[in-house]
Amino acid sequence: MGHILNIINKILAAVFITLIIALVLTGSNAIAVSKYSDTFDCDDSALAMFHYFQDLGIEATPIIGNLKMDGEAYADSNHVWLMVRSGGWEIAYDWGTPRLDRQHYEGYEISLGQLLAAVEQDRQGRDGLTSTAQ
């Protein structure tokens, strides 16, 4: 029985990876999130995706970093996305789309509480990510 479950898990992981690659290549969003605006930015997108994956029972961790820098310091972070774990794989999601570029696999884990604080600070007119990275 364990052998059959192992085969099923491998098949599901292969299907998951194939879907992600197809989404990346076609530029499609896997998850419907609002577009960037003055009131909806990357921390809002990350929170929406977090809740989406949480509802599916899939582990997701917010990651903060700077996509324009290699080896950035924590304080240089200016963007947040998710690292999603499923079927033994980790896939970065940013703005509802799986990301396979190296830069999305650098950064620093933050807690859900830190992400919520960044969203709230944005609502109060302060830069939530800047203060989260401090």
| pLDDT value, residue 30 | 61
| pLDDT value, residue 21 | 61
Torsion sign over Cα 96, 101, 103, 108: positive
| pLDDT value, residue 134 | 44
Helix, strand, coil % (nearest 5) of the chain? 45, 20, 35
| pLDDT value, residue 25 | 55
DSSP string, 56-99: TT-EEEEEEE-TT-SS--GGG--EEEEEEEETTEEEEEETTEEE
- Quote the pTM value: 0.73
Spell out the per-residue pLDDT of the chain, length 134, in tens.
677 777 776 776 666 666 666 555 555 556 667 676 777 899 999 999 999 999 989 999 999 999 999 999 999 999 999 999 988 889 999 999 899 899 999 999 999 999 999 999 888 887 666 545 54
